[in-house]
Amino acid sequence: MKARWLAVVVGSLFVSGSFLSLPCLAAEPIVIGNCSSLGFLEGYECKYAVELAIDEINAKGGVKVGNEMRPFKQVAVDSRDSEPGLPVSEALMAYEKMILNDKPHAIIPGFFTSEATLASMDITSKHKLPYLATIAMSPKFQEKILENYDAYKYHFRLCYNAVYFAKAYLGSLKMINEEFGFNSAFILNEEALWAKSIAGITEKWLQEQGWKVNGVQTYPKGLSDFSASLLRVKNTNTQVIVFISSRPETVVFADQWRSMKIPALLTGMLPPLCGEDVWQVHQGKVNGIIAIIEPGIIPVEAIPLSVKFFEAYKKKVGKGPGSSHGPGPAYDSVYILKEAIERAGTLDGDKLVEEIKKTDRKGVVGRIRFGKDHQVPYGTDPNEEALGVDFQWQEPGKRVIVYPKAVATGKIQLPPWMSKGKQ
Amino acid sequence: MAIPIQIDKGAAKYRKERLDRGIKARSDTIYALSSYREAFYLLLPRAVTIIGLLILPLVLDEYWTKVIVLTCVVGILALSWDFIASAGMFSLGQTLFFGVGAYFAGIMNHYWGLPPILSIPLATLFGAAFCTVLILPVLRLRGIYFAMVTFVLPQILVRIIAMSGAFGGVEGLSALSPMPSFWVATYLAILALFVCLFGFRKLINTDYGVVLKGIKGNDQAVMSGGINIYWYKAQAIFIGGSAGAFAGAFMTHFYRFVGLPAFSMDYTILPIAATVVGGTGMFAGAMFGSFILVPLTELLRAIGSWRVVLYSFLMVIFIVALPEGIFHYLQRKYHQIERWVTTES
Amino acid sequence: MAGMIIYGLINSATFTLMTIGFSLTFGISGVANFAHGAFYVTGAYVAWQLINSIGIAYPLAAGISIIVTGLLGAALYWLVLYRVRGLILSEVIATFGVGVGLMEVFRSIGLSGHSYKLPKFLEGSLEVLGVYVDFQRLIILGVGAALVLFLWLFSHRTKIGLAFRGIAQDEFTALSFGIESDMTAMVSLGLGSAFAALAAITVMPLSLIQVEEGGNVLILALAVGIVGGMESIAGIIVASLIFGFAQIVVATYFNPHYSMIVLLVTIMLVLIIKPSGLFGKFKELEERV
């Protein structure tokens, strides 16, 4: 009868689904799981970076696990966790499904958003997977690891987090103060966890250093007109604008800054304006903007591996990476994993974690060592720590590194409509 | 009951005849059963569904049981949409009820420390009341305004929460109390689904429901009967909204997290797509549709965001080509026999 | 102060541009086109593809894109809405489904990242009353004003325009005059979508092409329509002015973050006091014939 047929159909839909989650036979390759927002810049660039590393390692024979050589393999699943309307539960479902279906041995580069990362820590620990994060930036990650070390010890972060980022960035502001005598700032950030914390840290530090902070504003997503904030900058004679956002509004803001001829330096964390091809796309209108990025996305002469990475990436993908952070550490993570596996001689999660902790490597972003909180410290000397560099777009379309001094290749130029040493 | 469709097949003409099976022929609503076989015939669809759903969590692994819970939640949302639609109001914002219920539960749990046992029912009630109050001004207007406002409201609420940083702002509230246990949660969801399904069906068949259906059909006629349609409409929103708010409150404790994604578009689109595919107006259709769509969505996870494209276009195709939905079609097949019969020349 | 006024006007013009297509369609044919936002993104995307993949010159690409989007809108009516005309539920779900589906298609083919940028009409900026305004924004103001003027002339002077107003006023009487309602509805949908594309091409060069912008445009169109009254051009303009200036004022004196609450408060107020909008002509439930 029809109803029975119906019941069979519905029932078989469920049963067949459960078969999909049965474990597949253990495969030869070592699987690296990638569950992040693959449709977004940092997401797909980290994926390419991991592929690049995997290709290089496999070409040399693979990873020595105990007595056999095994290749790496990346399994990438789009968690879409950076999309505005997506419930975190969706991202977590995708994550769990990947773990159950593809049986990864480690997770690189981790989720895109801090929200999803934090929510997923229990799942990662349950499956004892080393988790090497290179995109999400919230310092809460470190707090949670320290709070419950035994449970969360599988988590590591290689890119800078908001705290280190702020420190690196503030160093550049100090330099601006020393060179030009500027001491007034206006902070504008997008409404996101990481941006707000950077804004807060920046404001506090600036005030401690004696700067005048003429405003700290959060702008809503999708805002297409920043004239009010920019006019405020102009009317208060602010000299430095700190803009923190990874969203496309950055472009609108930069554009308006330029066309309204606001006499202030535009600096900050501006991922949409960091790629090599940005000058062309925006037809030179990014001239004068200072942004902070990782080595690897820009070749830093003082760190040879970053140059090598940059060239290799460009060859593979066709153009250099365009995010402000992520691909360099993702590339490094694969090598770190390889070295940890070879030292441990096994793929066991707990043993791997012990070896990863001992990492001391010269990577794309500088020297990589993990602190007690499983975060790589960032600073100003590539021989001691990892590095975040500031560069400025200058004619005829070059990215000139202006900070830190150890790796700088040029000096900051003021925008043409701004006279030197104002106030 | 015989629907003539003339087709020329050579000399003789045929027509399609549709006859009700024995039971239905006697009366549409009251069944006079004359054998156990007939009773079985009637009970089978319901029994299979109920027993099947109760057994499945015991049979499947944890991942797929979570899918079932999600299906139930979507089903509850779909039922709530269907109920409100039965009163003639087409809402494009089930996510409003869901999100408000979710946030109420989260707030009660986070700031006041209420355990799920209290926060879920309270969130259901207050969430529904809150939404009803928000929507009150629109009840006086034509249907399309209702759709517009229910669409816009959740978006604006999202931005207000984001901007004010209240209730966790952009980060949301996390580390909320979990459900007493996984099994309790699963069976609570299933139970709630059944309560909504059979409850709404029963409700719409009572005199109260007749008024609601009347409002859908011709509100001015109902008004001329001296009935205050706004009061009834508000009640319909409250009842439907409670189901939606319950779904939201439930999910908050299931995932121990509430945030802006609680107002996501998914919670509007999925229930409507489910109901459209399953069949509007008949509640069972809404549930049926969600049981097709949600597992399908899971199975198709491999194709990523094309899934949403798939089910939105499915929704459009169904509403245009097969508006009665699958469930109606199946029901018709189940209760009626179709056959070709020669016509008299 | 001058800056506030100028940018307030520009903001309002932006809103008008974005929302007038939706109101036009709704006012004439009674169809609320929930795919309006999707068509907005489509307009920008088609133009971008024409410029970057085929290498057509910008003005031509813009024109083609507007026409193509208009045709898409008409096609939406012809293929989908034609069959469900009159059933509110089906109309709403159909346009809504198409809108969401279309936006997801864009998302799935990877419409994100900063290579998706439309060129501006004119580079550079101009000093107006002591404030620098870039040309593109001035163009928005100009296009917005021109569009409004055009629509006014169109609906009051041309035959087709008058036919539109006739249908909007009373469909049956218009029918008896030989004004076909299906044809009119199709044209109105086409026009509405074309205007959405025009808005996209004018406004999107300010930033990058993003899929979420479609959702925002739709919400804005609904909000402006609710406050101003769906069918009246004057209402749209007034509502745009209110929202545009409110946003700028709030951003100047407080935090740009609060601009959204203005939207909500205005909508709720208007709904309570005059539900059919400030200039709305649709009567309330009771007065419906």
Q: How many domains does chain B have?
A: 1
Would you report the helix, strand and coil content of chain B in percent, each value rounded to 5?
75, 5, 20
Q: Is residue B1 part of a domain?
A: no
pLDDT category, A1, cuts 50, 70, 90? very low
State whether C206 and A222 contact (CB < 8 Å): no
CA distances to B84, C93, C215, C219 from B147, in Å: 12, 10, 15, 12
Query: Taking chain C (289 residues) in consecutive chunks of 10 residues, what is each chunk's mean pLDDT?
Result: 82 89 83 89 88 81 90 87 76 86 81 68 71 80 87 80 76 79 85 91 81 84 83 84 84 72 77 73 44
Q: For residue B17, what is the domain's CATH number?
A: 1.10.3470
Would you call A129 helix, strand, or coil by DSSP?
coil
Asked if residues A160 and A296 have their Cβ atoms less than 8 Å apart, the reply is: no
Spatial distance between the Cα atoms of A285 and C169, rounded to a whole number of angstroms: 50
User: What does the DSSP assignment read for C55-76?
Assistant: ---HHHHHHHHHHHHHHHHHHI
Query: For residue C104, what is the nearest residue in chain B, using CA coordinates?
Result: B309
Q: Which of B227, B312, B313, B314 to mutate to test the interface with C (most CBs of C within 10 A)?
A: B312
CB contact under 8 A, C263 and B141: no
Give B90's pLDDT tier (boundaries 50, 70, 90).
Answer: confident
Pick the residue of A36, A40, A45, A224 with the most C CBs within 10 A to test the interface with C by mutation.
A224
Q: What is the pTM of this model?
A: 0.79
Convert the pLDDT of each residue in C101-145 to its tens digit: 888 888 777 666 656 777 777 677 777 777 777 778 888 888 888
Q: Is a pLDDT exceeding 70 seen at residue A422?
A: no
Give pLDDT, residue B339.
Answer: 77
> What token pair was written down for C27?
């006012």
**Which of C102, C164, B258, C18 shows the shortest CA–CA distance to A89?**
B258
Tell me if B319 and C258 make a contact (CB, 8 A cut-off).
no
| Inter-chain CB proximity A7 and B52 less than 8 Å | yes
Radius of gyration of chain C (CA): 19
Question: Chains touching chain B at 3 or more Cβ pairs under 8 angstroms?
Answer: A, C
* A301-310, A313-322, A412-421, C246-255: segment of lowest average pLDDT: A412-421
Give the Cα separation of B178 and B109 in Å (integer).
Answer: 10
Which pLDDT belongs to residue C207? 75
Integer Rg of chain B from CA = 22
Which of these, A39, A40, A42, A128, lies nearest to A325 by C-alpha position? A42
Does the beta-carbon distance from A17 to B163 stay under 8 Å?
no
Q: Which residue has the higher pLDDT, B32 or A129?
A: A129
In angstroms, rounded to a whole number, what is the distance separating the alpha carbons of residues A96 and A124? 9
What does the block give as tokens for A183? 């001491």
For residue B18, what are the β-bridge partners? B338
| 8 Å CB contact between A270 and A291 | yes
Beta strands A360-363 and B12-20: pairing type? unpaired
Query: What pLDDT is stored for residue B3 in this prediction?
Result: 56
* Chain B interface includes C108 (CB < 8 A): yes
Q: Report the pLDDT value the prediction gives residue B150, as an integer from 0 to 100.
A: 85
Q: Do C251 and A41 touch (CB under 8 A)?
A: no
Report CA Rg, chain A.
23
Name the strand (E) or helix (H) holding B342.
Answer: strand B336-342
Least CA distance to A120: which residue of chain B?
A: B255
Interstrand relation of A131-133 and A265-269 (parallel, antiparallel or unpaired): unpaired
> In this structure, are residues B48 and A3 in contact, taking their beta carbons and an 8 Å threshold?
yes
- pLDDT mean over A265-279: 81
First to last CA, chain C: 49
Is the CB of C83 less than 8 angstroms away from the CB of B320?
A: yes
- Reply yes or no on whether the pLDDT at A69 is more than 60: yes
If pLDDT is split at 50, 70 and 90, which confidence band does B126 have?
A: very high
- Which domain does B258 fall in, by range? 7-25+44-342
Share of chain A above pLDDT 90, in %: 0
pLDDT score, position C112: 65
Amino acid found at A277: D
Provide the residue ranges of all domains of chain A, joining segments of one domain with +.
27-160+303-379, 163-293+388-407
CA distance B113 to chain C (A): 29
CA distance C6 to chain B (A): 26
Per the prediction, chain A carries an average pLDDT of 80
Domain extents in chain C: 2-211
Q: Which of B302, B323, B340, B281 is nearest to B88 (CA)?
A: B281
Averaged pLDDT of chain B? 80
Neighbours of C152 (CB within 10 A): 13
Which residues, in sequence order, are bridge partners of residue C208?
C117
> Across the interface, which of C34, C226, C282 has its CB nearest the CB of B149?
C226
Q: Does B312 reside within a domain?
A: yes
Instruction: Determine if the peptide bond prior to A109 is cis (ω within 30°).
Output: yes
Touching subunits for chain A (3+ Cβ pairs under 8 A): B, C
DSSP secondary structure letter of residue B176: P
Count chain A–chain C contacts defined by CB atoms under 8 A.
96
- pLDDT tens readout for residues A339-393: 888 888 888 888 888 888 888 888 888 888 888 888 888 887 878 888 888 888 8
Determine if residue A242 is left, alpha or beta; phi over 0 gives left, psi from -120 to 50 gives alpha, anything else beta: beta
Q: Which residue of B has its CA nearest to A115?
A: B171
Q: Which residues sit opposite A187 in a β-bridge? A: A216, A242
pLDDT tens digit string along B102-123? 889 888 888 888 888 888 889 8
The Cα angle at residue B334 between residues B329 and B335, in degrees rounded to 5: 100
Cα separation, B170 vs B164, in Å, equals 9
Average the pLDDT over B296-316 and give the result.
Answer: 76
Query: A328-365: buried (b, 16+ CB within 10 Å) or exposed (e) per residue?
Result: bbbbbbbbbbbbbbebbeebebeebbebbeebeeebbb
Give which of A40, A54, A22 is closest to A116, Cα–Cα.
Answer: A40
Q: What is the pLDDT of residue C36?
A: 92
DSSP, res A189? E
* Torsion angle in degrees (nearest 10) through CA of B309, B315, B316, B319: 180
| Cβ pair A85:B45 closer than 8 A | no
| B159 CA: distance to closest CA in chain C (Å) | 6
Answer for the pair A73, A54: CB distance below 8 angstroms, yes or no: yes
* Of residues C4, C24, C5, the one with CA closest to residue C151: C24
CB proximity list for A9: less than 8 A, separation 6 or greater: none
* Residue C286 confidence (pLDDT): 39
DSSP code at position A38: T
Fold of the domain built from segment(s) A27-160+303-379:
Rossmann fold (3.40.50)
B304 contacts in C (CB within 8 Å)?
A: 108
Q: For residue A186, give how far its alpha carbon lies from the nearest alpha carbon of chain C (Å).
A: 13
- The first and second tokens of residue C215, run together, are 């959702």
In a 13 Å sphere around the CA of C31, the CA atoms on its Cβ side amount to: 36
Q: List chain A residues with CB under 8 Å of C213.
A: 222
Reference B191, options B57, B87, B312, B27; nearest CA is B57
pLDDT over 50 (residue A139): yes
Within a domain: residue B260?
yes
Residues of B in contact with C90 (CB under 8 A): 319-320, 323
Whether chain C has a CB inside 8 Å of the CB on A229: the answer is yes
Q: How does residue A421 score in pLDDT terms, banded at 50, 70 and 90?
A: very low
Q: Which residue of C has its CA nearest to A78?
A: C108
CA–CA separation, C242 vs C271, rounded Å? 15
For residue B290, give the nearest of B301, B278, B304 by alpha carbon. Answer: B278
Q: What is the pLDDT of residue B285?
A: 84
Place of tokens 């299933």: B190
**Beta-carbon separation of A259 and C132 below 8 A:** yes
Q: Does domain A163-293+388-407 have CATH number 3.40.50.2300?
A: yes
Contact C272 B137 (CB under 8 A): yes
Q: What is the pLDDT of residue B171?
A: 65
Find residues 210-229 of chain C whose CB sits inside 8 Å of chain B: 215, 219, 222-223, 225-226
List, in sequence order, every beta strand (DSSP E) within A191-329: 212-219, 240-244, 265-269, 290-293
Residue numbers in B near C93 (CB within 8 A): 90, 272, 276, 315-316, 319
Whole-number pLDDT of residue C282: 53
Please answer yes or no on whether C14 and A224 come within 8 Å at the CB atom: yes
B160 → closest Cβ in C226, C264, C271: C264
Is A92 in contact with A115 (CB distance < 8 Å)? no
Subunit contact B172:A18, Cβ cutoff 8 A: no
Residues in B touching C285 (Cβ below 8 Å):
140-142, 219
Nearest-neighbour CA in chain B from A300: distance (Å): 35
Kindly report which listed range (A7-11, A146-150, A270-274, C186-190) carries the lowest average pLDDT score: A7-11
Of B90, B99, B85, nearest in space to B127 by CA: B99
- Kindly determine whether residue C222 and residue B148, on different chains, have CB atoms separated by under 8 Å: yes
Q: What ipTM was assigned to the predicted interfaces of this complex?
A: 0.76
d(CA B131, CA B126): 9
**Model confidence over A82-121: pLDDT tens digits?**
766 566 777 887 888 888 888 888 888 888 887 788 878 8
